[in-house]
Each structure stands twice: as structure tokens, then as C-alpha cells.
Structure 1
Amino acid sequence: MPHRRNLPIVLSTLGLVAASASATVLHVNAAADEGGNGLTWRTAMQDLQAALAAAGPGSGVTAIWVAEGTYVPSTTDATASFELIDGVALYGGFAGTETALDQRDWNAHPTVLSGDIGQDDVVGSGPYWYQNWNINSSNSGHVIVASGTDETAVVDGFTIADGHTGPAGTPAGSPLMFGGGIYCVDGSPTVRNCTFTHCEAAFAAGAGIYLWNSNATVQGCRFLENYCHLSSGGGIYIGGASDPAVEDCLFEYNIVVAASPDAEGGGLACWSTSATTVSRCAFHANVAKSFYSSGSVVAYGGGLFNFNKSMTVRDCRFVGNTAITGGGVASFGPTKLVNCLFLDNKSIPQPNDPYSELGGDGAAVSLFGQAPAISMLVNCTVSSNDGKQYAIHQSNTGTCWIQNCVVWANTGTNPELNGGYKVQVGGSFSASYSCIQDIFDPPAPGEDPIDPENLPGCTAANPLFSGASDAHLAPGSPCIDAGYDAWVPDGVEIDLDGEPRFVDDPDAPDVGLGDAPLVDMGCFERQLEPTCGAEDFNCDGSVDGADLGLLLAAWGTGNPTFDLDGNGIVDGADLGMILAAWG
């Protein structure tokens, strides 16, 4: 995620003298003197609510710049929120001296919109942050309300924190129980470059963001340490007829807890009746768990959960997530996973004494679609996930297609499956041009293996990862140039690293199908080692000042990279060789 981003905005000229009431930008700074009119940083308003009130219809205000500091919707009213306005962009991350939008830095100058109106919350940090979480007095139910807005209502560059269920005694089912960070019904705001943290939803949904009938854009945001009590969507909940764009976001250490009914989606839960797409996101160490140590409650989708309509998930990483079923992803609708990595996720069975334990399936991906639904994994890598059985599991009557994938080194605790491919994949599936451990062996002792003709292009050879936690393909991997080009969806031109998706490795045999260059199996395409001249130290295709700077930094040493003539020291002779190759 970038530390700063250039975002276009039309600004009128602002002077340092008193400006007219038609100024398009208002300035807010919690450290400012009282009584400011907001027209410059020197005369900034103290109160963000006052700035929003001044930016209403007919004001001519198109943006509010907010300096670092903490801002609360009210100091006494836990039903109060900051309400977004169509046509007004709310920008944070300013030091309070900037004259242009691209000068701000929201990491260096954190601007916090907090629901902790008493400023008395106590929280921990890391995977068990919630164990030390103490809400000492009532917090705002929603930090921000964006209902009824359109895409011109913008919030960008803020930390949105501590939204938590409203005043004491707020009943279950109240809107204040939903959307601790942002509550949005029938609205489609633009949310960029924000961090959502320590927000809660209880008996409801959407601790970080709650979207209902919303086509919001959520881009470049982080969802860290949010909590859903007996509800779904620790980071984001998507419901109604929503079709939001969720792009370039991080979901980390979010938690949903189930009692009855079930809770889903530690990072994100989607119950939309519209097709939904999630792109270029990372889901790390999110949890969907039961409130009870034993019983029939199942929590689905540690990273992501989908129900109802189809979902496409592209270029996403699911690492270290945990659930009772579907550690990385659980989906009841047809789901397409493209260029995704599933690593170190877990599905942990729920004791159900005196009956059999529940869950433990689909440590990486658990699918529940009904026929004729088809889910797909395309160019995904699924490795080192752990559960009771099946790293990838398709239950019910639907089918899962596994195409151009690597499924390897996943583990299962069910002793009946040891040595069979069902540790890796189970249920109704079709695999082609994929590397799946033990796929040609019997699925379990006493069962017949799959006919190899029904596994076109598949291999069970070791994929040769670059390391135990590094799923990039090493030289000599049987997965290089071994996929089927036609399985790659239209428009997919890069791999999960953002590198070219089709690269021909001259040292690898073309065992896949299609026209060269053939796609590799898995989410990472093997890239060729850069070839460049000895003097082009940074390998950018040109011998220039950057290379000269690198040589001078090594001057007088024996660094062999810069000792071009091999005399044991970086000196004038090497400088002469650089100058001779200049350009």
C-alpha cells in the first residue's frame, strides 16, 4: 500500500488573507485556535462537525482538509456520527502547512476519526488484541454514516477507529449495532487510503464497514483488529443488492464469533444478491470461531465468506487465517479464485460432545455450491494449510474446477486419509494442468485411483518451491511452462507479484498446452533472471548516474560486483570502464 497517493481535485486559489464564503476548501486542525473560519490553515476550524455543517448544499465547498489529530463526532452523544456529503471530499493526513493535496502523508500525520467519545478505551495488540480490550464508557455506534450518498462523497486518508454499538442499553437489531466504522445503506461513497481499527458490530454485521444496497468503492484500505460479536464481516459486510469495488485492501487480525445463528467472514462477509468482485487484497490472520468450546455452532470463512450470488476473487493472498470450516475462504455461491495464494490457513474442528465433531474441512477453501453451480480455482497456489481433511473441499452437488494450480504440502489430521490425495482436495472436483500431491494415488486406502485420462496435464511431482514459506517456483520446477493458456481468464496479464503472467523459460520443457510462452502453474510465474551488462549495476538498461553512484559507494572496497577489471579493488580503472560504457 503506498504511503501517499496523488489524487486529482479541482481547487480554487486560496489566499492567506480572509477569503470569501465561496472558498472550495475548508481546513480543520484540532490544534488550531478557537473561532477560525477554515479558509486557510492559519484560520483553521477546530471542529470537524462544524466544517461538515458549513459544507452543506449551496456552500460551494468541495473538500475538507483535516490535519493530524483525533476527532470525535461528539463528546457526550454516542448516537452521533460524522455524516458524509455528496460532492464533498474529506481528506486526512495533513501536517497543517500543505498547499497541495499531494503534499499530505497519512502515515506520517495520522488523522483519527474516533468513536471513543470519552477517550478512555483500552486495547491490546497483535493476534490476541481483544483480550485486553476494554470499552470503559459508551462509544459512537458509527464513526461515519454514508447512507444515501453517491461516489462524490469521499473519505480518504483517515484512521477510523473505535465505533462500538452506541449508548449503553442499545437493543440488539438497532442500526447502531451495525457498521462500527462506516454505516452505509442505499449509498455508494468512495473510501480510500483509510485504516479501520478496533471497531465492533454486535448481534448485527460489519464491524469495519456495513454496506447494504451499496455500490461503494473501498480502495487501498486496511482493516486491522476489528471484532464481530455473534455477527458477520469483521472487516466488511456486504448485503442487499450491493455491488461494491473492494480493491488493494489488507484485512488482518479481524475476528467474528458465532453462537446462533452462525457467523462468517473474519475479514469479509458477502451476502449480496449481486455478483461481487474482490481484487488485490491480502487476508492475514483473521478468525471465525465459535463462542462455545463445544456445541453445534460452525463459523465459516476465516478470511472471506460468500453466500448467494457469484463472487470473483483475483490476485489475493490468504495467509494464516482460521475458521471451523474454510480457513481461507468459504462460499455457498459459485466462486472464481484467480491468481490467489493460500498459505498456512487452518480449519479447526469444533467439539460437539457427545456427538461427532464438526468442521475441519477446507483448510484453504470450502465450497458448498449446489448443481449446476461451478466454482473455479485458476492459477492458484494452495500450500501448507492444515485441517482435519481436504485443503480444498467441494461439498453438496456443485463442482470445483482446479486449473493451472499447485496444491501441495497441505496436512490433515484424519488418519483415514493419510497417504491419499484427499488430504489435498476432496468432494466433486475436476483437475487439469495442475500439480496436486498424490493425485494419481488412491484417494484413501482401499479406494481406486482416478483414471489419469481424467486428469489431463496434471502432475504429482514436487513443484520445487523456493522455500518452506516461499511458493515461488525454483529453477527446474515441473510447473514451469506447464499450464494451459486457455484457462487463463481474459485480461489476466500479470501474476500475483504483478510480474508478466506469460514468460517462456528456455531451460524448461514446454509441457503445457497453447502457444508459447506457456503459462506456469500456480499464482507466481517464474521470471527470467535479468540480463544486463556488467556496468549496468541496477540492470535498468542504461549505464548512467545511478550506476556511477553505486560504484562510488563501493570505492576502495573489493566488492566483486563493482570491481570490473578484477584487480581486487574498486578504483579508477573501474570508473574508466563505467565511463566507456556510458549510456
Structure 2
Amino acid sequence: MHWEKREMRRRSRLAAACVAGAMWVTAAGADTLRVPADYATIQQAIDAASPGDRVVVADGVYTGSGNVDLNFGGKAIVVQSARGPAGCVIDCQASVSNPHRGFVFNSGETAESVVEGFTIRNGSTANGAIDDQFNGAAILVTLGSSPTIRNMILTGNYAGCWGGAICCSHGSSPTILNCVMTGNTSNDDGGGVFAWNGSSPRILNCLIADNHAPVTGGGVSIFDTGAVIVNSTIVNNVSRFGAGVLDSSSQTAIVNTIIRGNTGGDQIWGRPAVSYSNIEGGFTGAGNIDAAPHYVDASTGDFRLLSGSPGVDAGDNQGVPADAASDLSGLPRFVDDAFTPDTGRGAAPIVDIGAFETQGGIPCTGSERIASSRCRGDEFEHRLIVKLKKGAAGDAFAVRLSTGETAYGALNDRGTGKARFDQLFGEERGVQALWGCGATDEDVYVCP
């Protein structure tokens, strides 16, 4: 029986706390309830939990009754996956005619009610207007609830009205931290996140990409209230008004955020307070820029910034709250990039713009070098290919020509990299390679 399992866990709690290599620490007097080892479904574990308890869900794909439409019932508990969102999936298997979502918070939950580390996919509401039953296809937060939503992947969900991934309504202000929202759709507003009626979400270190809303806010739509958006990357969303962000009340604050590549309307609609952000087309505000971000590989959804990006060391240190001290990858904020001048605000090291922080500190191998600098082409066009080798996997690099042209990149798993320059002609000139670890090498090239 469940109460017997619970009592056994209480008696063994102190002994378990002494086991080396524990993955988390629970408060004194709190229990860890495991799914499916102790409880067959996630909701059964939530129902059995007491304030301060932790529900830990093993890797797997969870479907059906007891694993969708999950509700904390106002409890201050943590519900988390054991190993992160990649391996722990809540598949709602929903449709307009068979609506289900991942979680609903509607009992006044506070920041101590935490959901963490799940993928929620294939959620759906019915089609309709305004009422909460039509909103928030992955997560609905309503009726004065303000939980913490952390380290989640919300993808492929559909809302019949507002909030393809998350809807915040009726005075609810959750913290949405280190989350990925991609490929979600609303039938009206807020392809990623929608908030209204006195709700003010905090959106920190989030990637909001490839979401769609036919009317407003392909990424985020904020009605009649304000939100806080910090160190997020909002890209490739689609909507008619505010393809990236819509702020109807002009009360939203956006800091250290990339809003680019959104289509169908302006990147931002409304007059939010925007600062130290990279906005396509520009936007009034201190420290804002309009420059190609130089992602690692946007074609594969890798929106990390390459070393030397104009968004590196260009944010506002004062804009980073204490609970966003690591980036979306879980890596530290405030890492200096030796290739990039500090253009942001604050004492070095200065935070980057966007959801990801470019990392330094990879040690040199001592064998970094330019393997070759060769020109190829014909009498009409030449290409210079500079190949690097024997570096540390993942280390950043910059290749600079004596003409001033520079290419940036990161070494592959073999510790090699390549830079390409087009249409080069003339006499022998110099090329310099710089690695993030501090190594340098020089060579010469000639493109006849």
C-alpha cells in the first residue's frame, strides 16, 4: 500500500542521505517519491506528496490518465525528471476533439511549486475563445498561481485560442527558466507564451523558436499587463503583429535578448522597455544593437553564439537576476571572450546577449597550429581555405587576415577547424589564427 511505502521511506531517509553520489538533497522531514518505482503514475505520486517532498520521474515516455493534465493541487513540492528533459517525455497524445495538456496550475501555487526537466509534446486544447479550457496547450497557469517552470522542452503543442506552449491568466506570474519552446501553435495569439489579465511571467534564459500564431505574438504575446524577458533568444517565429514579441500595454521589460528572424510582422509590436538586446531592424533603448548574431549553426537549431559575435560581452550585468546565473545549457554566465571587446554594461566579465553564454576557459593542448593556408579557384574567383589542427575539441577560434577580414568558429570533436574567405587576389599576405585558450599561430598566403 502507498502509505506503507511512504512510512518505509521515512524510516530510511537518514540512511539514504549518507549514500555517496546522491543526485539531490531534500529538506529535513521531506520524502522522495519515485515514478514508476513507488507510484505507477505521476499524478499518484503528486497526490501522495506532502509540502517539501520531491517527485522524481524515471526516463521514459508517459501517456494516458495519471500522466497528463497533471495538477499540483496547490502543494509546494518539486516534480522533476531523474535525468533531464531529453529522456523523460510526457506525450499528451491529444487533439482538438480529445484535449489534454501536460500540467495545469490553478490552486494558487507559489515559486516553491516547481516542475522541472520534462519534454511535453502533442498537447492540445479544443478550439474556442478566451476561456482557459482553450488556452495553454502544454502548461496552463491560472487563478493567481505563480509556480517555477524550469528546464523544460515544450514542443509540438496546439492551443485553440491562446498560448501554444504556456498560457498565464487571471493574475498568474510564473517564473519560466531555462526552457525551450519550439514548434508550438496557437489558433489566435501567443505561439509560445501568452499572458493576460494581470499576469506577469518572468521568462529567463529561454529559447523560443519556430512557433506560430496567426494574429499576435508568434513567440510571446503579452496583453494588458507586463512581463520580464531576460537573456532569451526569440527567433524564427511567425505572426501578423509582433512576430517575435507583442506587448499591448507597453509594460514589458526586455533585457539581454535576441529577437531576430521572426516573420509576418514587426519583430516587436508595442513599446516595451528594451535594452542591451539584438533586435533585427533596431529598437530604441540603451545598448541595443542590430547585427548578425553569428550563431554556431542556426540551420540545425544551434543558436549558441560564436566567439567574436557582436552579442558576446555585450549585455547588461545589472539585468541578470540571481536565479539566471547560468545559461540555457547550464553553463556559467559572465564568461569573458578574449576575441571580443566589451561593449555591454558592468565590470568585466560582461554577460552575453541571448540564451547561451559563449564559454572560455578550455585549456590549450600545446599543439595548436595552422595546418595549411591555400587558395583555390580560377582567374575570376579565388577562395582561401585556412585549416587548423591539434586543438581542444569545442575551443573557439578566430582566423584574421592582414586585410582585416575575420572568420570565427569552434573546433570539432577532432580538434580541427576550417575558415573560408572568398574572392581574394593579390600579393603574399599574412594570416593569424587565435584559439580561445590563448594559443596563436601565423602563416602567409598568396592568391595569384
Equivalence for 2:123: 254
Residues 328-347 of structure 1 aligned to structure 2 (within 5 Å):
328-332=192-196, 333-347=199-213
CA distance in 2, matches of 1:252, 1:402: 28
Task: Provide the aligned length of Structure 1 versus Structure 2.
Answer: 347
> Structure 1, residues 86-118: CA drift from partner, whole Å, max 9, x if none?
9899xxxxxxxxxxx999xxxxxxxxxxxxxxx
Q: Is 2:197 the counterpart of 1:318?
A: no
Secondary structure class of the residue paired with 2:134: coil
Q: Is 2:328 the counterpart of 1:462?
A: no
CA distance in 2, matches of 1:433, 1:52: 52
Equivalence for 2:104: 237
Matching residue within 35, 52, 62 for 2:8 = 62
Deviation at 1:531, TM superposition (A): 2.9
Q: Is 2:36 the counterpart of 1:193?
A: no
CA distance in 1, matches of 2:57, 2:48: 21
Secondary structure class of the residue paired with 2:72: strand
Secondary structure class of the residue paired with 2:362: coil
What amino acid is aligned across from residue 279 of structure 2 in structure 1?
Answer: I
Matching residue within 221, 235, 239 for 1:366 = 221
Q: Is 2:161 the counterpart of 1:309?
A: no
Equivalence for 1:121: none
CA distance in 2, matches of 1:480, 1:393: 22
Equivalence for 2:89: 222
Q: Is 2:265 the counterpart of 1:401?
A: no
Q: Is 2:82 the counterpart of 1:211?
A: no
Q: Is 2:280 the counterpart of 1:437?
A: yes
What is the Cα-based RMSD across aligned positions, in Å? 3.7
Deviation at 1:158, TM superposition (A): 5.6
After the TM superposition, which of the residue ranges 257-266 and 474-483 deviates more from structure 2?
A: 257-266
Q: 1:182 to 1:386 in 2, by over 3 A?
A: farther
Q: 1:159 to 1:270 in 2, by over 3 A?
A: farther
Gaps of 5+ in 1: 1-50, 64-85, 90-100, 104-149, 164-178, 290-298, 350-359, 418-422, 441-453, 541-559, 563-583
After the TM superposition, which of the residue ranges 217-226 and 185-194 deviates more from structure 2?
A: 185-194
Secondary structure class of the residue paired with 2:254: strand
RCO (CA 8 Å, sep 6+): is it higher in 1 or 2? 2
Equivalence for 1:568: none
Gaps of 5+ in 2: 14-18, 22-28, 82-87, 369-389, 394-413, 417-448
Deviation at 1:484, TM superposition (A): 0.8
Identity %: 26
Deviation at 1:337, TM superposition (A): 0.7
> Structure 1, residues 37-83: CA drift from partner, whole Å, max 9, x if none?
xxxxxxxxxxxxxx447x289xxx515xxxxxxxxxxxxxxxxxxxx
Deviation at 1:277, TM superposition (A): 1.4
| 8 Å contact from structure 1 (residues 151, 216) kept in 2 | no
More strand, by proportion: 2
Deviation at 1:534, TM superposition (A): 4.2
TM-score of the superposition, structure 1-length normalised?
A: 0.53
> Structure 1, residues 9-64: CA drift from partner, whole Å, max 9, x if none?
xxxxxxxxxxxxxxxxxxxxxxxxxxxxxxxxxxxxxxxxxx447x289xxx515x
Q: 1:500 to 1:361 in 2, by over 3 A?
A: same
Residues 128-207 of structure 1 aligned to structure 2 (within 5 Å):
152=31, 154-157=33-36, 184=47, 188=51, 190-194=54-58, 197-199=62-64, 207=68
Matching residue within 326, 345, 352 for 1:494 = 326
TM-score of the superposition, structure 2-length normalised?
A: 0.67
Q: Work out which of the two has the higher radius of gyration on C-alpha atoms and give 1 or 2.
A: 1
> Structure 1, residues 348-382: CA drift from partner, whole Å, max 9, x if none?
x3xxxxxxxxxx21111111243xxx311111001
Deviation at 1:487, TM superposition (A): 0.4
